[in-house]
């Protein structure tokens, strides 16, 4: 197990550090296959990438997850969020963002296709991750198998409650999503986990220093050979 942990003084500094790792990967490979996450945590990273006008024109992006049941044009979709925070300001064509087809009639076939798309792109070289308060990565909620692949999942109540800040009220948060599975995430070459704020301190410690268990999906990261964690001081308080 190789987990490199960086503690930054605050979320802005954490974002700048994460952006530097992404820029470095792009310098080595402009055609980088980059896995992108949404939620509040990566926002500072995307702001810094936009501020520094990073060249993503040859990169390929894969979404970590996507809500089911929203209109495709809804800005609250994960695709809409990445478009608004990252690719749009950088002038990157929407077609460079790969996402599972959550509107497909045959959703399990669409999930299998997403796995195949990742493989066809040569695999995800660098995957950005956040961590849910309940230990989820992507939308792999507690209990998710470490063997899991891209699939339809039901969101946990804590996730619906946490993400209601993006939707106005819990009743407006989709109940389901398609997420890369834990085994999908573990196939990426390099995992970059970001965690900010006191509400992540306990779960970050459980994930990185506790037993590897589906009860804490992010603990699966201990099974990967190349993980970088960037936490702000509050999130790192229990490490
Ligand atoms: C969300 C996403 C995750 C994200 C996590 C933490 O629901 N599916 O990819 O990393 O939960 O979210 P936040 O960064 O807003 O705390």
CB burial class (10 A; 0-12, 13-18, 19+) of residue 116? exposed
- Count of beta carbons in the 10 Å neighbourhood of residue 45: 27
What is the separation of C-alpha 34 from the centre of its chain, rounded to a whole number of angstroms?
10
Per-residue confidence (pLDDT) for residue 238, from 0 to 100:
97
CB-based contact 134:141 (threshold 8 Å): yes
Ligand 1 atom having least distance to the Cα of 38 = 9
Determine the distance separating the centroid of ligand 1 and the alpha carbon of 204, expressed in angstroms: 13
Nearest to 136 by CA among 75, 190, 193: 193
* Helix ranges, the chain (H): 11-28, 43-51, 78-82, 88-90, 107-120, 157-163, 182-186, 201-209
Segments in the chain below pLDDT 70: 1
Q: Which residues line ligand 1 (CB under 6 A)?
A: 37-41, 64-65, 130, 132, 138-139, 159, 163
Catalytic residue among 136, 140, 196, 232: 136
73: tokens are 């044009």
Q: Is 93 labeled as catalytic in the residue annotation?
A: no
Catalytic residue among 141, 162, 232, 234: 141
Q: Which residues contact 234 (CB under 8 A, 6 or more apart)?
A: 196, 197, 198, 200, 201
Per-residue confidence (pLDDT) for residue 1, from 0 to 100:
62
Per-residue confidence (pLDDT) for residue 2, from 0 to 100:
79
Three-class DSSP labels, 130-170: CCCCCCCECCECCCCCCCCCCEEEECCHHHHHHHHHHCCCH
No. of helices (H) and no. of strands (E), the chain: 8, 10
């Amino acid at each position: 197990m190789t987990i490199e942990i960086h503690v930054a003084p605050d979320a802005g500094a954490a974002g700048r550090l994460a952006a530097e790792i992404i820029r470095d990967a792009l310098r080595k490979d402009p055609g980088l296959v980059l896995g992108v996450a949404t939620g509040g945590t990566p926002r500072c990273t995307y702001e810094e990438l936009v501020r520094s006008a990073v060249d993503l024109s040859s990169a390929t992006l894969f979404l970590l997850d996507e809500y089911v049941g929203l209109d495709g044009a809804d800005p609250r979709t994960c695709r809409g969020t990445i478009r608004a925070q990252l690719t749009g300001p950088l002038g990157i064509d929407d077609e460079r963002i790969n996402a599972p087809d959550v509107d497909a009639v045959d959703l399990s076939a669409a999930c299998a296709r997403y796995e195949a798309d990742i493989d066809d792109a040569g695999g995800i070289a660098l995957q950005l991750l956040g961590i849910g308060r309940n230990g989820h990565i992507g939308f792999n909620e507690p209990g998710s198998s470490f063997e899991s692949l891209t699939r339809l999942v039901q969101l946990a109540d804590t996730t619906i409650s946490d993400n209601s800040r993006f939707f106005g009220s819990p009743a407006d948060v989709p109940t389901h999503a398609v997420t890369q599975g834990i085994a999908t995430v573990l196939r990426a070459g390099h995992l970059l986990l970001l965690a900010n704020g006191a509400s992540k301190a306990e779960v970050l410690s459980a994930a990185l220093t506790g037993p590897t268990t589906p009860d804490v999906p992010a603990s699966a990261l201990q099974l990967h050979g190349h993980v970088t964690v960037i936490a702000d001081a509050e999130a790192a308080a229990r490490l």
